[in-house]
A and B are shown apart, each in its own frame.
Chain A
């Protein structure tokens, strides 16, 4: 009895910490899909790209992966801005965003994945950092630092983004473009520029999210696929575009997956996200915190 209670407690804790990581992975989708209505299914592939950036800086120069990813963020921002520009000119402007836009991002996902395979090979890569290995203990509960540090980094990123969106002029313009792009144009702000900034921000988050991913687990080029279902399940269940909803849904999914992995075996946990997603779509597509 005691043993299973301890097991249960630790499953909850690691699920909670895992959920923080899921929030970092999903927050970019909350911006691009939730606010801009761009179904960027290549998002997880860019996260893996972020992992490889952190891995390269860490193994080559010995830099801390999380710090390296923050340094790399501007490069990801520019990448995002470039992708949006291409997307806008090729699809959004023509009003042809649905079928071809989706296929475009699917192609990007594939190109990124195969590109990484061609450059780095299919081996699993991992990083070194002082917080990988040791744990904090609180009674019987174990807080592994390799989960706790990413959890804190993720919440910091989500918090900063939220501050930016709710306080700065550009941030509020992003929230406005999510509601009515035409009205924004009338008010004298260029919706395309605002959307470009927002999409670039969403890609910039993949740098840190990727570093967090590789701190938590070894990474290989196609690992991003496991996150597509999770990311969209969380974004939809959280109520598209709601940051608080995203964090809550991420933590819920983390806990459910962790419980499943503990009591039924880890090979079943990818199915949880899908059940989660289908449930969300079938029962309440506007999400828990939907507008």
Chain B
């Protein structure tokens, strides 16, 4: 399938999803659906670095929440239209990824992982001490009832924007997989030393992956203040974002773009159901157990059962 055909198909699917949600015409569908879509973006973004190059980023909450706080700051300084705010959030987190990567990516991968984990704590410390965006007390953001143009319900609008982000991030992931960039990423994941020796510019590729991955996580986080309307550091920087985002690609499979998509749809929907029917602590426990269970028993994830992502590996070996 060519890139444009895929994009067209993805847009059609997204349109069908929106039409179906609108047909149900229940506010809860949009509320729950927003969270599911947000995790599709986060999981796919994480996989750009984690799945393709093999570098584990534990600082998802940092990238996600810093962009959300960027939105709060923009709202207080000079309100912009939401798509512009999302781009700004992407820029903030993309730069954060670039800086983090520049300092730690020259070392062994595990140091990068530890640094990202610590970065989330520091970003939280920074926000707690930043009184302009509410500090430890948190910040209120007023969500308009309707959009200024076309008079769409604002929750529907947020859902729609997240749907657009899903299409963009999935198309990007697929494009990377099929490009020279993706081959470079795979070379780094399989044997970084050999890749370096063969002339692959490993540091530059890793920086591209970190910046892209961070930028998409930021874009997923930027609309958050309008969704929750009250943002405080402990919930914005909650470790559950990181656990969910890492669990989804690993459960779905990290080798190809359908993996994070399937993992996110499955896990996020399950969580919405469990949170409503049982409790949110139990639902986090389920995610933790599923994560550990899957990486031990099914290291290729769900797409591994169907052989997706392996054919590509074989083709590459023959080449």
Contacts and interface: CB of A to CB of B under 8 A. Distances in A.
B239 interface: yes
Contact of A111 (B58, B254, B285): B285
B284 interface: yes
A100 B254 CA distance: 11
Contact of A274 (B122, B281, B291): B122
Nearest to A280: B111
Contact of A285 (B58, B107, B126): B107
A86 B295 CA distance: 12
A228 B61 CA distance: 15
Contacts of A103: 56, 246, 250, 291, 295
Interface residues of A, number: 41
B121 A274 contact: yes
Contact of A267 (B50, B128, B239, B284): B128
Interface residues of B, number: 43
A279 B242 CA distance: 25
B42 to A, nearest CB: 15
A8 interface: no
A30 to B, nearest CB: 14
> At the interface, is chain A mostly helix, strand, loop or mixed?
helix
Interface stretch (B4-12, B31-39, B112-120, B304-312): B112-120
A81 B288 CA distance: 21
Contacts of A107: 243, 247, 288-289, 291-292, 295
Given A115-B285, A228-B118, A100 B295 contact: yes
Contact of A110 (B103, B115, B288): B288
Nearest to B291: A107
Interface stretch (A71-79, A173-181, A191-199, A229-237): A229-237
Contacts of B247: 107
A117 interface: yes
Contacts of A108: 292
B272 interface: no
B110 interface: yes
Interface in A93-143: 96, 98-100, 102-104, 106-108, 110-111, 113-115, 117-118
Interface string B126-140: 101100000010000
A277 B285 contact: no
Nearest to A121: B281
A270 B122 CA distance: 7
B250 A273 contact: no
A96 B125 CA distance: 34
Contacts of B110: 39, 98, 102
A278 interface: yes
B292 A118 contact: no
Contact of A229 (B122, B250, B254, B295): B122
Contact of B114 (A41, A90, A275): A41
Contacts of B114: 39, 41, 228-229, 232, 277
Interface of A: 39, 41, 86, 90, 96, 98-100, 102-104, 106-108, 110-111, 113-115, 117-118, 222, 225-226, 228-229, 232-233, 236, 267-268, 270-271, 273-275, 277-278, 281-282, 285
12 contacts: A39-B114, A41-B113, A41-B114, A98-B56, A99-B56, A100-B299, A103-B250, A104-B292, A107-B243, A111-B288, A225-B239, A277-B118
Given A103-B291, A106-B291, A111-B292, 4 more contacts: A41-B113, A107-B292, A114-B281, A118-B282
